[in-house]
Every structure is written in structure tokens, then in C-alpha cells.
Amino acid sequence: HLQPAYEDLGHKRGDFPVTEAYADRILSLPMYAELTSGQIEHVSSAVAEFLAAHCARQTEARPVASRASRIA
């Protein structure tokens, strides 16, 4: 309801707090028949780059338990 395509409906931030909370935490990917191969490649590359960077940061931030402590 806050995206430009729906602004003519007149809703503002705060009208749907649960929806807004979810929307602030999810990734909405473009999905429509007219997407070109180039656009699909661009989106998938951007997502892959983000995930690679995010996963690298997560692994650096958390110490990994040794194999011995995981078995015990």
C-alpha cells in the first residue's frame, strides 16, 4: 500500500502496521512476464552478491565451535 503504484489509494505509513512490519523485513523480487533475461540476470546477481557479503559477515562475527565440542 506504500509503493508508488498504489499511492493513489491514499494510504499512509501507520495505516497497516502489521503489513508494514512484514514489508520492512522481506525481500520483494520483481516477477512479471515481461522481465528480460538481462533483468533477471541483474536481479539474481545482486541477490547473490548481497548473500555472499552477508554470509561472510555472519561467519566472521560468530566463532565456530570445534569439532570436539560439537560431538561432546
d(CA 31, CA 5): 15
The total of other beta-carbon atoms located within 10 Å of residue 69's CB is 8
Q: How confident is the model at residue 54 (pLDDT cuts 50, 70, 90)?
A: confident
17 against 67, higher pLDDT: 17
- Segment 42-59 mean pLDDT: 89
Q: How confident is the model at residue 44 (pLDDT cuts 50, 70, 90)?
A: very high
Is the pTM of the predicted complex or chain greater than 0.85? no
Exposed / middle / buried, residue 2 (Cβ in 10 Å: 0-12, 13-18, 19+): middle
**What is the per-residue burial (b if ≥16 Cβ within 10 Å, else e) of 10-30?**
eeeeeeeeeeeeeeeeeeeee
d(CA 33, CA 39): 12
